[in-house]
Amino acid sequence: MELLSKDKIIEINSKIEPNSNIINGNLITSYEASLPYCSTISLKLSAIARSLIKNHCFSDGNKRTAFIVLKILCKMNNITLNNTNLGDKILYIAKNNYEIDYISNNILFFT
């Protein structure tokens, strides 16, 4: 699976929200912690999205950063993302405490 570097994610966030900062090193935890435990690419992408959304890696722009990172990673890895109302789905993930498999199967990658 192809991933974006942490520096690239920071760059994406800084373009979205120029005054945003990394909070407490959460980007390392958010981006890498659950990946070894995910068996499929869609689960890994869901874990990345949930982590960027929920762990507040940045002082601002977390959901917007997750939206763009998810779209880029899907394109890089030839994964079809259910784009219907994707912005609303990002907000839905932010407001709820779903497991990664639920996010993958019912929100982001179902057909």
Residue numbers of the domain that contains 80: 6-108
Would you say residue 50 lies in a domain? yes
**7-21, 26-40, 68-82: least confidently modelled range:** 26-40
Supply the pLDDT for residue 32.
74
Q: Is residue 96 predicted with pLDDT exceeding 90?
A: yes
**Is residue 53, in this structure, part of any structural domain at all?**
yes
CATH number of the domain within which 49 lies = 1.20.120.1870
Is the backbone of residue 25 left (phi > 0), alpha (psi -120 to 50) or beta? left
Tell me if 74 is assigned to some domain.
Answer: yes
Q: Is residue 1 part of a domain?
A: no
Residue 75 has pLDDT above 90, yes or no: yes
Q: What is the DSSP letter of 91?
A: H
Q: Identify the band that residue 80 occupies on the pLDDT scale cut at 50, 70 and 90.
A: confident
Q: Give CA–CA dist 26/87, Å, rounded.
A: 23
Say if 40 falls within a structural domain. Answer: yes
Q: What domain count does the chain have? A: 1
> Could you tell me the CA-to-CA distances from 95 to 34, 37, 68, 69 in Å, in that order?
20, 24, 19, 19
In a domain, 88, yes or no: yes
State yes or no: pLDDT of 76 exceeds 90.
yes
pLDDT single digits (tens) 16-44: 999 998 886 666 666 777 788 889 999 99
Domain assignment of residue 92, yes or no: yes
pLDDT of residue 24: 67
Share of the chain above pLDDT 90, in %: 61
